[in-house]
Structure 1
Amino acid sequence: MSLQDRSTSLMAGRGAADRRKWLALAFIVIAQLMVVLDATIVTVAMPAAQVDLGFTDADRQWIVTAYALAFGSLLLLGGRLVDLFGQKRAFLIGLAGFALASVLGGVAPSFATLILARAGQGAFGALLAPASLALVTTMFPEGEDRSKAFGVFSAVAASGGATGLLLGGVLTEYLSWRWCMFVNVVFALVALVGAAAVLPRLTRAARPRFDMPGTATVTLGLVAIVYGFARVETAGWSDVVVLGSFAGGVALVTLFVLVQRRVTHPLLPLPVVLDRDRGGALLALGLTSVGLFGLFLFLTYYLQVTLGYSALMTGLAFVPFPLAIIAGSTFLSSRLLPRFGPRVLIAAGALVAAAGLLILQALSVQDSYPAVVLPALVVMGIGVGLTFSAAVSTSTFGVAPGDAGVASATVNMVQQVGGSIGTALLSSIYAGAVTRYIGARPSTQALSNAAAVHGYHVTFAVSALALVGVAVVGGLLVRRVRDRASAAVDHDQVSVAVH
């Protein structure tokens, strides 16, 4: 074979490998979308499920809490299992388990069965989410392709909540609340069959040993912290159980850090998060989640309670948000990130998103959607898209392949904890603002609506402050990783795809 023929054959092989890699990304994104939208799709279905299964208003929160507890507390364990099993195998196991748990939820004859199914979804999601991100990290280690891939992945991660609201509204209105569970089976089967066929087999470093003390302390600690924030919404900040959960959780997480400094094979190698760039990016993601969860929660209340939108109309109202995120994280970020680096994009995107939240200060008891909500969603979506894509890419940059799973789990964990903090904190701020606005005046419907809108104003202002904090963190902690990335990447730390 001539040199030219060999060159042509090599180029053809690389072209086929590239196409296979991007097709694999499509199936990974489908799986990630399923995990992310599942956190919000059930919120639309809850009223119908409550009528069908007969559970109380007090019990209703457990549909969300069961998922959050399992998902948030098991993420680091799931990430290390990804490193133990291998990324492809963990991804497929996570998909299959999530699908089975969704079937159980769809056929649930009782509230207890539904809660068990939601916990199962959270547990397998804690394996699937880090496996998804770890696969993207290792398949796209550097360069412009990495920026594009993380732009697509981040668009799904950031917009999945809004997509869940829309899909939940459609399924509940035209089919049944049970289809909010069954639809996951469709996503999972498509991703499972496709991924099994096209995902590359990735070589991995020596299999890490299992850190049992670290696993026990961090899992129990995260359970306590997430449960504490979930309970705040109904019991308040002064509740003994809430305070005990926080104290116990902080103590266990502190013990976890001490354990990680001493054990030979830590569950979470501390350099993964103590690196200045990765640590700054993770903190930025956590703060962004505080503001983002506030948007979903309270803007949904405004549209449905104050304006009287149906579940379907509420979902449709959120459509511009994921579209704007896609524009920010794919079209803009893929071009700007290689040029300016993550520090500029994280800070600039956060300030743009904060400006979008400040637009919502013009909300009123009349229909403010065309003039206020729509432009706010577009502006905030573009900003969140820029920030998420840069922060997610930076938080996994330069991680050794043996730690890719647990590093990816850390990304998901800070978002989950940030969302839990945001939900509890902003709910308390909203309730306090409404109470102070009403004061001792006699209650009327007009006063209640005005008080609610005032509460939204205060809540969105606090969310905007959180995003300003993201800009500060990005500007001060994250360096121009672009310079490091373009200078050299240690290819000994990058998994090799074997086709």
Structure 2
Amino acid sequence: MSVLDEAATAPSPAALRMTGRQKLVLTLLLGAQFLVAVDFSILNVALPVVGAGLGFPLAHLQWIATAFALAAAGFTLLFGRKRLFLGGMALLGLSSVLGGVATSPGMLLVARVLQGLATAAVVPAGLSLLTTAFPEGPLRQRALGLNGALMSAGFTAGAILGGLLTDLLSWRWAFLVNVPVTAVILAVAPAVIADSRPGARPRLDLPGAVTVTGGLLAVVYGLTHAGEAGWTEPVTLAALGGGAVLLTAFWFVEQRAQKPLVPVRILRRPTVVWGNAAGLVAFLTETSLVFLLTLYLQEVLGYTPLATGLAFGVLGLGTVLGGTLGGRVVGRVGSRAAIVYGGVAQAVATASLLALGTSGDWIWLLHAATFAGGVGNMLMIVGFMVAATSGLPDSEQGLATGLATMTQQVGITMGIPVMSAVATARITAAGGDGPRAVLDGVRAAVGVNAALVLAGALGAGALLGRRRKPATPR
């Protein structure tokens, strides 16, 4: 029976207990992962205020989010484990100070790029340290489930915290709040985290990092321009075509690189390929849905940043519940089934948002749908993480978790531009930017979002089932 479908046998009580050191390591690593997740979304509900304060054009505000995610996605696989985990945390603290004192759009974007580079070091290194600190089985599944829950909850907590800080203090505190947290982690982590870095120092695949980052940047720019000027406009076609060329070049670079970012041997494993495909869809759809609902709450219902952030609290509860239960669900039904069940639940919940209207009375539907969708999304994410990192030797855990993290960052990077382009095109077709036109745009993008997650979950589930190895005859 395969790793994906085999239900876990009943472990001994000792196998389910963490040592005191493991608990401390888990706390530090999860705290770091939660912090970088918060950093992605903490400015989302404050974007109009940031734009007004620094002179950012409204059409370009999304680059505050995508600058962070692009740097994180493109350079995720370049970095190692303990030393670069600590170095990444230090860079996160310094770049947060830079963002907190920014006086121009350029300075702010530099800070966000540096935060993205810090994330590219912290997240895969933290996941590698996490998977090597816990043996494969119930403890690792529980740790990965908690990690997924806190990462997803971090996106929601970032929205709430960003609204709170913006309304009560200043958007600058969305950066400065990181500084004391990074200081605590840097003070404690060196003494308790064991280094699991391979003995040989790997060469950095800079051509791979540059081509994948450039390709993603071109595609994001093309999507953004398409939403503003149309899909057949020459600049749009040139950007999308250039992005496709660079991403194709990335694939060929990886085949010839001595130390590729994405080794071919990893991609030969069906669990790695299709697990990551499911993860890409999960992150692309849920993070972009938060963006769409931010538009709905602020532009249609007239919510403030604080009220918008608080409205996502229910989504946060759903993601925490889904992440907490995710390890148990995977242990009971397998990661393939968890991906399918979670994706279907998320798709149904997202599709229900098509009924949203211009009245504030519809907030109950938003709360119910985001809670249920958050649970489903986290089941899908935990299933993806277990599928993509199971059955691998410790020597490949860094590559597998780095690839999983890159998948997460690419999904986050592409989600907002894709859904923004769909919504913008519909808003333009509706003839304006008033509440009714914005609602039409949000509905169109929500429909695409729901269809995408349903197709992704069912497709990944079918391919995982079809490609699995046959059970050994008895």
Return the alpha-carbon distance in structure 2 between the equivalents of residues 110 and 461 of structure 1.
37
Q: Distance in 2 between matches of 1:119 and 1:328?
A: 31
8 Å CA contact 1:67–1:122 kept in 2: the answer is: yes
Find the counterpart in structure 2 of residue 450 from structure 1.
436
Aligned to 2:97: 103
Take 1:180 and 1:17, find their aligned partners in 2: how far apart are those partners? 34
Is 2:462 the counterpart of 1:476?
yes
- CA distance in 2 between counterparts of 1:368 and 1:354 reads 23
Aligned counterpart, 1:209: 203
Show the counterpart of 2:6: none
1:251 corresponds to 2:245: yes
Q: Distance in 2 between matches of 1:287 and 1:430?
A: 18
Q: Please report how far the alpha carbon of residue 219 of structure 1 lies from its aligned counterpart in structure 2 after TM superposition.
A: 4.0
Deviates more, 1:423-432 or 1:352-361: 423-432
TM-score, scaled to structure 2: 0.88
Deviation at 1:212, TM superposition (A): 4.7
Per-residue deviation at 1:215?
Answer: 4.1
1:410 aligned partner: 403
Alpha-carbon separation, structure 1, partners of 2:427 and 2:102:
37
* Alpha-carbon distance in 2 for matches of 1:17, 1:386: 23
Q: Is the 8 A contact 2:46 2:162 kept in 1?
A: yes
- Structure 1 SS opposite 2:43: helix
Residue 36 of structure 1, CA deviation: 1.5
Question: Are residues 251 and 471 of structure 1, via their aligned partners in 2, closer, same or farther at CA, if it must alter by over 3 Å?
Answer: same
- Whether the aligned pair in 1 keeps the contact of 2:422 and 2:445 (CA below 8 Å) is yes
Match for 1:429 among 422, 430, 450? 422
Give 2:315's match in structure 1, choosing from 305, 318, 321.
321
Task: Tell me whether 1:376 sits opposite 2:369 in the alignment.
Answer: yes
Q: 1:132 to 1:243 in 2, by over 3 A?
A: farther
Tell me the residue number matched to 1:491: none
Alpha carbons of 1:401 and 1:328: their partners in 2 closer, same or farther (altered >3 Å)?
Answer: same
Shift of 1:157: 2.1
More deviation, 88-97/409-418: 409-418
Give CA-to-partner distance per residue, 1:403-445, whole Å, 9 cap, x none: 433432322222332333332232232233344455xxxx7x9
SS at match of 2:170: coil
- Check conservation: 2:165, 2:171, Cα contact below 8 A: yes
Counterpart check, 1:81 vs 2:82 = no
Q: What's the secondary structure of 2:318's corresponding residue?
A: helix
Bigger Rg, which one: 1
Contact 1:294 1:460 (8 Å CA) reproduced: no
Contact 2:207 2:253 in 1 (8 A): yes
Alpha-carbon distance in 1 for matches of 2:87, 2:254? 27
CA contact (8 A) 1:45 1:180 kept: no
After TM superposition, list the pairs within 5 Å mapping 1:1-400 onto structure 2: 18-75=19-76, 79-82=77-80, 87-202=81-196, 204-330=198-324, 332-400=325-393
Mark the CA change 1:198 to 1:15 in structure 2 (over 3 Å): closer, same or farther.
Answer: farther
Deviation at 1:303, TM superposition (A): 1.2
User: 1:119 offset after TM fit, Å?
Assistant: 1.4
Deviations for 1:382-417, whole angstroms, at most 9, x for unmatched residues?
101111111122212234444433432322222332
Measured at CA, do residues 195 and 108 of structure 1 come closer, stay the same or move farther in structure 2, by a change above 3 Å?
A: same
**CA deviations over 1:224-247 (Å, ceiling 9, x no partner):** 334444544444433434433332
Q: In 1, are the aligned partners of 2:73 and 2:413 still within 8 Å (CA)?
A: no
Contact 1:287 1:469 in 2 (8 A): no
1:467 is aligned to 453
DSSP-derived class of the 1:266 partner: coil
Amino acid at match of 1:347: V
Report the CA distance between 1:102 and its aligned residue: 0.5
Verify the 8 A CA contact 2:272 2:400 in the aligned structure 1.
Answer: no
CA distance in 2, matches of 1:263, 1:434: 45
1:205 Cα offset (Å): 4.9
How far apart are 1:348 and its partner, in Å? 0.3
Instruction: Report if aligned partners of 2:129, 2:195 keep a CA contact under 8 Å in 1.
Output: no
C-alpha contact 1:429 1:459 (8 A) present in aligned 2: yes
Write the deviation string for residues 170-210 of structure 1: whole angstroms up to 9, x where unpaired: 11111111101101112312322232232123263533334
- Displacement of 1:316: 0.9
Identify which range, 468-477 or 101-110, moves more after superposition: 468-477
Query: TM-score under structure 1 normalisation?
Result: 0.84
Moved more, 108-117 or 236-245: 236-245
Where 1:202 maps in the other structure, the secondary structure is coil
Q: Residues of 2 paired with 1:259 and 1:157: CA distance?
A: 31
Instruction: Return structure 1 stretches of 4+ with deviation > 6 angstroms.
Output: 13-17, 480-485
Which residue in 1 is equivalent to 2:7? Answer: none
Q: Distance in 2 between matches of 1:113 and 1:179?
A: 16
5+ unaligned residues in a row in structure 1: which ranges? 1-12, 486-499
Deviations 1:309-364 (A, max 9, x none): 1111111111111111111121x222221121111000000001111112212211
Closer/same/farther in 2, CA of residues 269 and 354 from structure 1, 3 Å limit: same
**Distance of 2:330 and 2:163 partners within structure 1:** 35
Q: What is the identity, as a one-letter code, of the residue corresponding to 2:266?
A: V
Equivalent residue of 2:106, what SS?
helix
Q: Which amino acid aligns with 1:449?
A: P
Q: Please tell me the residue identity of whatever aligns with 2:71.
A: A
Give the match's secondary structure for 1:251: helix
The answer to whether the 8 Å contact 1:221/1:253 transfers is: yes
Q: For residue 426 of structure 1, what is the amino acid of its counterpart?
A: M
Distance in structure 1 (CA, Å) of the matches to 2:112 and 2:197: 33
Please report how far the alpha carbon of residue 216 of structure 1 lies from its aligned counterpart in structure 2 after TM superposition.
Answer: 4.2
